[in-house]
């Protein structure tokens, strides 16, 4: 099996398990504030498989929408600032409507399981961090050990089947447990990022391809793209 194929295969099988569950077990409907939250199956469809990271992103997104009394963002009504590029971010895009293309999903490469959401109309913002006290191994230590072997070791066919069998119960518990066990939620005040700008496209004098005006460079007096401009460094 090629490197990386083990992870893809096991997650595809877990996705099949999830798709067989009743929709009533997957969804979070309107809460007492009337906020509609997409079912978890919408995040699974967007992402392609079920995994713990996707669940955490879904739970964070659902809590954010409820706290901000917000529906899905059709344009840039809601802003999400994410501090990692994990599976959780796909759930955030699917559930909140925040996306790179619309300019209201902002990626800060800090490697932290932290997500900040802000509503433009109210100016309210909420910061959600994954509770460091939450551990999947506390739900099912056998699953946790086997999952590590499936992802990073050389599991047997029987061990793969056992991970898939146990995953259904683990995921159901993650989706159903109280927010406080999974999430650390804090009301914050932030300077909400401005709306995304549209820029002219310029033709690179070297490669001939188009580059956004604000990302263009000047090289030997000509407008070029970043790759064609090259890098200049003196060690700092």
pLDDT in tens, 144-195: 999 999 999 999 999 999 999 999 999 999 999 999 999 999 999 999 988 8
**Neighbour tally for 49: CB within 10 Å:** 17
Q: Does 3.30.1330.130 match the CATH number of domain 5-188?
A: yes
5-188 and 197-236: identical CATH topology: no
Nearest residue to 174 (alpha-carbon basis) of 142, 136, 201, 133: 136
Dihedrals phi, psi of 122, to nearest 5 degrees: -100, -20
Q: What pTM did the predictor assign? A: 0.81
Nearest residue to 182 (alpha-carbon basis) of 115, 132, 127: 132
Confidence of residue 33 (pLDDT cuts 50, 70, 90): low
Which tokens in the block code for residue 51?
A: 């995994």
Cα angle for residues 161, 165, 166 (degrees, 5° grid): 120
In this structure, what DSSP letter does residue 76 have? S
Distance between start and end Cα atoms, the chain = 42
pLDDT in tens, 22-32: 443 444 445 54
Which tokens in the block code for residue 95?
A: 């559930």
* Domain residue ranges of the chain, discontinuous segments joined by +: 5-188, 197-236
Rounded to 10 deg, the angle between the 141-152 and 5-19 helix axes is 140
How much of the chain, in percent, has pLDDT values that exceed 70? 86
Q: Which CATH class is domain 197-236?
A: alpha beta
Residue 139 pLDDT exceeds 80: yes
Rounded CA gap, 135 and 116, in Å? Answer: 22
How much of the chain, in percent, has pLDDT values that exceed 90? 75
């Amino acid at each position: 099996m090629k490197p990386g194929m083990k992870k893809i295969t096991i997650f595809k099988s877990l996705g099949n398990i999830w798709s067989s569950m009743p929709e009533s077990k997957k969804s979070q409907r309107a809460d007492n504030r009337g906020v509609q939250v997409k079912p978890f199956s919408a995040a699974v469809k967007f992402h392609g498989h079920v995994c713990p990271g996707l669940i955490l992103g879904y739970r964070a997104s659902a809590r954010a929408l409820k706290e901000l009394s917000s529906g899905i963002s059709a344009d840039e009504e809601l802003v999400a600032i994410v501090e990692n590029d994990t599976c959780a971010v796909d759930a955030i895009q699917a559930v909140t409507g925040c996306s790179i293309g619309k300019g209201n999903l902002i990626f800060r490469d800090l490697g932290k399981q932290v997500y900040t959401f802000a509503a433009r109309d109210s100016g309210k913002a909420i910061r959600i961090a994954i509770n460091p006290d939450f551990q999947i191994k506390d739900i099912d230590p056998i699953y946790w050990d086997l999952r590590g072997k499936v992802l990073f070791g050389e599991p047997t066919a029987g061990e793969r089947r056992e991970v898939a069998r146990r995953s259904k119960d683990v995921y159901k518990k993650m989706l159903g447990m109280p927010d406080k066990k999974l999430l650390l939620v804090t009301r914050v005040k932030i300077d909400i990022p401005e709306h995304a700008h549209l820029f002219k496209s310029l033709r690179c004098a070297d490669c001939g391809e188009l580059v956004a005006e604000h990302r263009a460079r000047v090289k030997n007096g000509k407008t070029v793209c970043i790759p064609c401009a090259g890098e200049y460094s003196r060690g700092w």
